[in-house]
Structure 1
Amino acid sequence: MSGIQTAGAPIENRQQLVDWMAGGGKPKAEWRIGTEHEKFGFRLDDLGPVPYDGDRGIRAMLEGLRRFGWAPVLEGDHIIALEANGASISLEPGGQFELSGAPLQTIHETCGEVATHLEQVQTVARELGLGFIGLGFAPTWKREEVPVMPKGRYDIMRAYMPKKGNLGLDMMLRTSTVQVNLDFASEADMVAKLRVALALQPVATALFANSPFTEGRPNGFQSYRAHIWSDTDPDRTGLLPFAFEDGFGFEAYVEWALDVPMYFVYRDDRYIDASGQSFRDFLDGRLPALPGEKPHLGDWSAHLTTLFPEARVKRYIEMRGADGGPWKRLCALPAFWVGLVYDDQALAACLDLVKDWTAEERQALRAAVPRLGLRAPFRRGTVLDLARPLVEIADAGLKRRAAVNGLGSDETLFIEVLKKTVDSGRSPADDLLDAYQNRWHGDITRLFAEYAY
């Protein structure tokens, strides 16, 4: 749902940035759902990660998918993405395959899109002797074993990440996520949705926790992916406490984003290293990487993609808290958030739930969930005690949307897997650990056989 524009008139003032973000507002009838999910490719013969080059590499996967009508996107001589019908397939730094879905009206449509994509990926992967799996963290590979994809922005990020946190390279190379991008109607609607998204993102993390292994062994976490984000880069991650302050709106978000250090500027088909430099200086024509030059809106849009809070605002809102997972959960994540924030009654119920949470409580919740998941404490209960009513609110919101498929079923069918989770109190990570300790007898390779798409 985003891309880098390579030209445009220079930005003259901050109000243009505010207006650009506000311009994303749409009437409710035009709200759409954009689902994104990443997955790990692996070699079937030895379960190792997939390099970019070679007869069985990521490039071969991308070339193979072109038979389904996908058009290539090049960076230099390398295919680094595919595009078709408003959707794209792109590469994360460690070769994680990402589908960025088209903006669609219903969960039925977005789930159908996911199913078609996975079928296409399976077709090509089988020919190449590859498989794909959905987890929040690569369960067996060491960081140094993971190949790096040939994208210029990733070289800049790899050099900068270790300056800001201990786990940024792991975030780049060994994590996968599923997220949903949702629209807002107005500034007030954006504020309401963002506050709900930030406050409740740890609950989504717990419901979708699916990364309990590191380098072949249990790591002590329900979502190691979520833990990694806590030690990646404090400048651009977290819960944005200022979003809960009186008067928050697009202008306040822009002010924050202006001071988050940049990674790069894209000019003449190449990435220019601007890591650690200020977009505020860029706006004033004082960027050291491009002295005297001012940004255009494509630069601003690209900068916003390098900010990584738990929920992110561009011209829509991105929900970013969930581990990658199996097929049903790729559909459950958009169903959960659509049920909570696309129905007025459900959104009001969520706002009422979180209205008296303090910044300290929100942060404590975010800190506890990666290790404890649904068992993380909150006030006089646990995250599971929050998750149960939220799944009910989402279910009711989906019922009121009354978006049915050709068989007359509404979107609540996609949240059934979460009802089972809150009924049992068991996360996907719990199921993985149980299998590892019992059915698999400590043989982590069984994971690839049982959980691959």
Structure 2
Amino acid sequence: MARRITYAHLLTKPNPKHVDSLLKFFENGRSKRGTGGFGVEIEHLPVHNGDDTAVSYYEPNGIETLLKRIAPYYDADKEYWENGHLVGLARKGIAVSLEPGGQVECSLGILKTPEELLTIYRAFRRDVDPVLDELGFRLVNYGYQPKSSFADVPVNPKDRYDAMTRYLGRVGQFGPCMMRCSASTQVSIDYVDERDSIDKMRLGTIIGPILAWYFRNTPYFEGEPNPWPLLRQRMWDYLDFQRTNVIPGLFDDRFGWEDYAYDVLSTPLMFADLTHTPEAEGLSGKELHHPAFYENAADVYPDRELNPYEINHIISTHFNDVRLKNFIELRHWDSLPIARAERLTEIIASLFYVPQNRERLESYFEGTREEDVFEAKAMLQARGAQAAPYGQPLEFWKEFLGLEGLLADEPGDPNHPDVFQA
């Protein structure tokens, strides 16, 4: 097997019943089509109209007020409350949730074609924009807050985020920044079997940094011009290496679902979530969500098969560039305006779902190693537009990946942080 050896494996090995639970979860995620279908998540940064500073959940006419005002447009039985506060909404095709710093995430799908993205997203904006106008703020698409520092943004009222703050405030370099001020676009694709999923995860891991360059959208960091060519990559790569970056062993020929399950289950959880664990009934909110600096899943969850909520939580404590759930989640990109998000989804469709394109890419990248991906990512960070990831200049990749028409310059207008300047 392709398993790595880390200190985590020497503490408590994965429970075999937990491993089987993840393998069944992945198996049940198999798509009968495998030739289409997307999920797109776009996170938005809330900023005041007057000065572009961050809007918090708690302030008068803030994020909580926004959610309550748009709640009538969503299904009453799909409202999500925590500690007496509304934190999520859903209806067919759209789910609205919150990231730690009040970032408003709009999850759209399942989409059959990239073109459907714009239609569904417009329905979201049709409901939310008139309310935003009345409340005096807007939702912008940047990878990081344009004016505010992480220290100025309170965490929203989910217990999990208190626990996460306690963990990420003690490891890595960018934990509080990522939680409170960053925003992303993520595209999910399907798979037909284990081999198909691993091949797509490898391909997504290889080309993701290049696509991130062409879809970068972070002019600002902590109220100043952003000093890093790819801030989102920089934040995640320096966050907590045992749960970020490239999946360990992914490029080993023997790598499979069991190896991925073993890695996920062996790593400390960051924080435990026992809200859907029947054996934990009666515990307080802080006990149901607590930091897990050393505890992995076997230390936290009972000796039985895991339920879907527990599985999703365990996987969600890993933030690899590409993440396997019961779908494949590509996580490289900054928050994008809808036209750019649609273009990104079109490119993903072309590269992963058009057989001749995928075969061409897999043939070209045959033999690529984990360290090659690390080198490509480091080169993009160090040399920016002059980088030559995988030995080729960016102009080569622009043509090879079908990115014609995309600008190579950093987007953004400092006077209008919600407008992409084409």
- Which TM bucket (shorter chain)? 0.7 to 0.9
Cα shift at 1:376: 2.0
Most deviating of 36-45 and 20-29: 20-29
Q: Could you tell me which residue of structure 1 aligns to residue 296 of structure 2?
A: 279
| Deviating more after overlay: 38-47 vs 113-122 | 113-122
5+ residue gaps in structure 2? 1-14, 276-280
Match of 2:416 in 1: 447
Output aligned runs, 1:53-452, within 5 Å: 53-71=58-76, 72-262=79-269, 263-267=271-275, 268=281, 270=285, 271-282=288-299, 287=300, 295-370=306-381, 372-391=383-402, 418-421=403-406, 424=407, 426-427=408-409, 429=410, 431-432=411-412, 444=414, 446-448=415-417, 450-451=419-420
Structure 1 177/266 Cα, relative in aligned 2: closer, same or farther at 3 Å? same
CA-CA distance at 1:201 after TM superposition: 0.9
Q: Which amino acid aligns with 1:266?
A: L
- Alpha-carbon distance in structure 2 between the residues aligned to 1:342 and 1:291: 40
Distance 1:77 1:369, change over 3 A: same
Q: Are the equivalent residues in 2 in contact too, given 1:33–1:110 (CA < 8 A)?
A: no
The alpha-carbon deviation at position 358 of structure 1 amounts to: 3.0
Between 1:197-206 and 1:293-302, the stretch displaced more is 293-302
Deviation at 1:241, TM superposition (A): 4.2
Structure 2 partner of 1:48: 53
Distance, in Å, in 2 between the alignment partners of 1:180 and 1:63 is: 28
Are the equivalent residues in 1 in contact too, given 2:36–2:349 (CA < 8 A)? no
Change (3 A) 1:66 1:20: same
**Aligned: 1:26 with 2:31:** yes
Comparing 193-202 with 336-345, which one deviates more in the overlay? 336-345
| Distance in 1 (alpha carbons) for counterparts of 2:419 and 2:96 | 25
Report the Cα offset of residue 360 of structure 1: 2.2
- Residue 254 of structure 2 aligns to a residue whose secondary structure is coil
- Equivalent residues of 1:212, 1:223 under 8 A apart: no
Instruction: Tell me the CA shift for residue 371 of structure 1.
Output: 5.4
Residue 362 of structure 1: how far off its partner (Å): 1.0
For 2:10, the equivalent position in structure 1 comes to none
Deviates more, 1:382-391 or 1:124-133: 382-391
| Residues 187, 294 of structure 1: alpha-carbon distance in 2 compared, 3 angstrom cutoff | closer
Q: TM-score under structure 2 normalisation?
A: 0.87
Matched position secondary structure for 2:350: helix
- Paired residues of 2:141 and 2:418 also in contact (CA < 8 A): no
Tell me by how many angstroms 1:314 deviates: 0.6
Cα 1:449–1:166 change in 2 (3 A) is closer
* Structure 2 Cα separation of the partners of residues 47 and 328 of structure 1: 22
Q: Can you give the 5+ residue segments of structure 1 that lack an aligned partner in the other structure? A: 1-9, 392-417, 436-443
Distance 1:338 1:291, change over 3 A: closer
Q: Contact between 2:56 and 2:62, CA under 8 Å: does it hold in 1?
A: yes
> Is residue 259–residue 278 contact of structure 1 (8 Å, CA) maintained in 2?
no
Residues 1:38 and 2:43 are matched in the alignment: yes
Distance 1:242 1:293, change over 3 A: closer
Distance 1:450 1:32, change over 3 A: closer
Cα pair 1:40 1:138 within 8 Å, conserved: yes
* TM-score, normalised via structure 1 length: 0.81
Tell me if the contact between 2:93 and 2:120 (Cα under 8 Å) persists in the aligned partners: no
- 2:309 alignment partner, SS class: helix
Q: Which amino acid aligns with 1:311?
A: V
1:327-357: per-residue Cα shift (whole Å, max 9, x none)? 2112122212121111222211121122132
Question: How many Å apart are 1:113 and its aligned residue?
Answer: 1.1
After alignment, is 379-388 or 128-137 more displaced? 379-388
